[in-house]
Structure 1
Amino acid sequence: MLSGLAAGREVLFVGGKGGVGKTAVASALGLSLARAGRRVLLVSTDPAHNLGHLWDQRVGDEITELAPLLRGLEIDPARTTAQHLAAVRSTMERLMPDHLQGGVRRHLELARDAPGTHEAAVLERIAEVVEQRHPDELVVFDTAPSGHTARLVALPELMQAWTGGLMRRQERSARFGAALRGLQGQGRRDADAGDRAAADIVGSSRPVDQRGRRDAEIRQILDRRQARFTGLRSLLQDDARSSFVIVLAAERLPVLESVELHEQLTRAGMGVGALVVNKRSPADAGELLADRRAVEQRYVAQLGAALPDLPLHEVPLLPGDLVGEDALLRLASFL
């Protein structure tokens, strides 16, 4: 049962090819765990959100109660990116000299639609959600289709390395600035001696070094960012704290894409805990569906041969619309 995969863990990711039922599986798992007494936060990172439709209620970018012990959240990439850039702009405008403000604003406007900006902003939000969860709460992420998810999972390592590079450059810049100020101070030492003595007599002090204070604050910001990405990377690469569930249909392309996703996740250091083959055709509902199931069975066998060490759960094609708690609990009975 997938509920066993959640035991002791802080985070579960549910992902796979688009249209295979990731949101349904994530929701059913979350509801089942909540009914068993586990506190769960269900988070959609897919820009094409289906969480609200599945639960037949509004779910947005603010946490919403879905059921007892179960909360839901749909991360809005556009809003998250706008908030992220606004925070960066506020910080940069506070730290940068006036003559550089125009360049900062132009750079951030160009960055709004630059490749990777949305992913970086969503990654920050994911880290924030994990950090701010209840101590005993399991976060279940309903992710975007496979390619996007693989990039997102690999991003903490890239962002950690990128931030580390910024920190090294900022440190070199700070050392250079300090050395330059020391050279400038040496030339002024004799001329300033009388002024300093007079200042000491009246109890005043020299103005705080603005450049040094700015360098220190930049360093603090980079330290916090580095710690956030380091923590998220450690979480994703710790099998005892997190795991990934791949959802797929018993068809050629979803099987091939799932095997590729497994390889990408493994390269990123993240463990895959289970496979869920969703919407399996019944064998006893007429010749057409029986033939369809026989075709599916070949692909299930292909999946088992490619990933023999992973638990494989099969969910039948269920009747009716998959909307609301009753339908989700019916689905959960197969997980």
Structure 2
Amino acid sequence: MATTAVVDAGEGAPDPTVRNLLEQESLKWVFVGGKGGVGKTTCSSILSILLASARQSVLVISTDPAHNLSDAFQQRFTKFPTLVRGFNNLYAMEIDPKVENDDFSNEGMEGFLSELTNAIPGVDEAMSFAEMLKLVQTMDYSVVVFDTAPTGHTLRLLQFPATLEKGLEKMMALKNKFGGLLNQATRLFGLGDELNEDAMLGRLEGMKDVIEQVNRQFKDPDLTTFVCVCIPEFLSLYETERLVQELAKFEIDAHNIIINQVLFDEEAVESKLLKARIKMQQKYIDQFHMLYDDFNITKLPLLPEEVCGVQALQNFSRHFLTPYKPALKRGTVEELELRVSILKSALQEAESELDRLRKGKQVA
């Protein structure tokens, strides 16, 4: 615990908030990711709300097949940008890379491409993501926030330039191997020119151009950053370390970590279980600070209720801008008064329960 105190209070230590993201006016793409169940959707929703207060227009996109954006905002979203209620510059949409190719026509070149991409592992997701990015680029959003799927899926998403490159190589290999056979077959069956190899290669080359352009933007720290969300437990720490290493490999900037569901030791906690959890959490929080001493690490409190709806998201957003401080601290008069009040209430409940049991026993 002393380690954290030193890190938090140390001169020159990174600001323990997300203000740096709001102040970076050049930022175009913000990815939010981490292990499943750590609160990625809540964090990406709140980040999009905060960005909407500082930027002209914001789009938040869920690429997680288990979409939660609709639940977070308590509003139905689809694969098309929808204005979030209560805002005039915040939009949301939900896409599923694994099923977006179902939208392709089953006829002509589109159907053939769909079958082809399904035969090359990962290309279907990459092509669908490329189509989505092409759509987003035609829109004039100041910044786009991605609420990503759990880590493994996200890392595959970041590999899509190489995946499409692989698909193009396979197409070129087919062209070199079979020559004009495909063209002859399309003419034989009266399918016209839309299925010829040049048309298909042109389609994939067009995808590749979009991918290369976006890939260059993703590797530009002025335009793109990745926010890692985690909880203070071993598996989440391990997953975050893996994610940070992979992001470095892909040359994608990451300098913000959000530690969610933190139990603060200063609070008036009497439960032995909670005290044990606090001790365990503090061990991993210390490790986060030790491993990522140059990151902006934001700690968010565990709440007794879910954060759902625009009002709840806005209320919780203050902890993203100002470090959370418990209302009561141990050793103060207020904290002791609260503990006495809690104990008195517990004693009254126990006495009432005892009276009920005694009366029941007498009746029996």
TM-score bucket of the superposed structures, by smaller chain: 0.7 to 0.9
The 2-side partners of 1:226 and 1:63 are apart by 24
How many Å apart are 1:236 and its aligned residue? Answer: 1.5
Q: Residue 295 of structure 2 aligns to which amino acid in structure 1?
A: L
Q: Which structure features the higher share of helix residues?
A: 1
Cross-structure match for 1:4: 20
How many Å apart are 1:30 and its aligned residue? Answer: 0.5
TM-score by length of 1: 0.76
How many Å apart are 1:109 and its aligned residue? Answer: 8.9
1:15 touches 1:22 (CA, 8 Å); kept in 2?
Answer: yes
Cα distance change of structure 1 residues 83 and 305 upon mapping to structure 2, 3 Å threshold:
same
> CA offsets, 1:94-116, max 9 Å, x none?
xxxxxxxxxx59x829938x742
What is the RMSD computed on CA atoms of the aligned residues?
Answer: 3.1
Cross-structure match for 2:215: 233
The DSSP-based 3-state class of the residue aligned with 2:305 is: coil
The 2-side partners of 1:144 and 1:306 are apart by 24
Cross-structure match for 1:251: 233
Cross-structure match for 1:162: 167
Cross-structure match for 2:129: 123
> CA offsets, 1:14-64, max 9 Å, x none?
000000000000000111121334411010000111111111111122221
How many Å apart are 1:235 and its aligned residue? Answer: 1.8
1:164 touches 1:226 (CA, 8 Å); kept in 2?
Answer: no
Cross-structure match for 1:100: none
1:245 touches 1:276 (CA, 8 Å); kept in 2?
Answer: yes
Q: Mind listing any 5+ residue stretches in structure 1 that lack a counterpart?
A: 94-103, 178-209
The 2-side partners of 1:164 and 1:9 are apart by 33
Q: Residue 21 of structure 2 aligns to which amino acid in structure 1?
A: L
Cross-structure match for 1:142: 147
1:160 touches 1:229 (CA, 8 Å); kept in 2?
Answer: no
How many Å apart are 1:302 and its aligned residue? Answer: 1.3
How many Å apart are 1:79 and its aligned residue? Answer: 4.1
* Structure 1 residues 63-142: aligned runs within 5 Å: 63-66=81-84, 67-77=87-97, 79-84=99-104, 86=105, 89-91=107-109, 108=115, 111=118, 115-116=121-122, 118-134=124-140, 136-142=141-147
Q: Residue 124 of structure 1 aligns to which amino acid in structure 2?
A: A
The 2-side partners of 1:311 and 1:46 are apart by 25
> CA offsets, 1:243-300, max 9 Å, x none?
1000000111101111011111211221212100011113213133344222111101
Cα distance change of structure 1 residues 110 and 268 upon mapping to structure 2, 3 Å threshold:
closer
Q: Residue 134 of structure 2 aligns to which amino acid in structure 1?
A: E
Cα distance change of structure 1 residues 46 and 222 upon mapping to structure 2, 3 Å threshold:
closer
Cross-structure match for 1:193: none
The 2-side partners of 1:54 and 1:320 are apart by 13
How many Å apart are 1:218 and its aligned residue? Answer: 3.9
2:61 touches 2:146 (CA, 8 Å); kept in 1?
Answer: yes
The 2-side partners of 1:150 and 1:222 are apart by 22
The 2-side partners of 1:68 and 1:59 are apart by 16
Q: Residue 246 of structure 2 aligns to which amino acid in structure 1?
A: Q
Cross-structure match for 2:156: 151
Cα distance change of structure 1 residues 18 and 220 upon mapping to structure 2, 3 Å threshold:
same
The 1-side partners of 2:128 and 2:66 are apart by 14
How many residue pairs get matched?
A: 288
> CA offsets, 1:197-240, max 9 Å, x none?
xxxxxxxxxxxxx88x9454344323212201211211221111
Cα distance change of structure 1 residues 92 and 79 upon mapping to structure 2, 3 Å threshold:
closer
Q: Of the candidates 289, 298, 301, which is equivalent to residue 304 of structure 1?
A: 289
Q: Residue 142 of structure 2 aligns to which amino acid in structure 1?
A: E
1:25 touches 1:331 (CA, 8 Å); kept in 2?
Answer: no
The 2-side partners of 1:227 and 1:277 are apart by 37
Q: Of the candidates 49, 54, 60, which is equivalent to residue 72 of structure 2?
A: 54
> CA offsets, 1:85-137, max 9 Å, x none?
x37x53167xxxxxxxxxx59x829938x742552344224422432231x42
1:16 touches 1:146 (CA, 8 Å); kept in 2?
Answer: yes
Q: Mind listing any 5+ residue stretches in structure 2 that lack a counterpart?
A: 1-16, 181-191, 321-364
Identical-pair percentage: 28
> CA offsets, 1:278-327, max 9 Å, x none?
11113213133344222111101112222332211111113433111221
TM-score by length of 2: 0.70
Q: Of the candidates 10, 16, 21, which is equivalent to residue 39 of structure 2?
A: 21
Instruction: Single out whichever of 315-324 and 65-74 deviates more from structure 2.
Output: 315-324
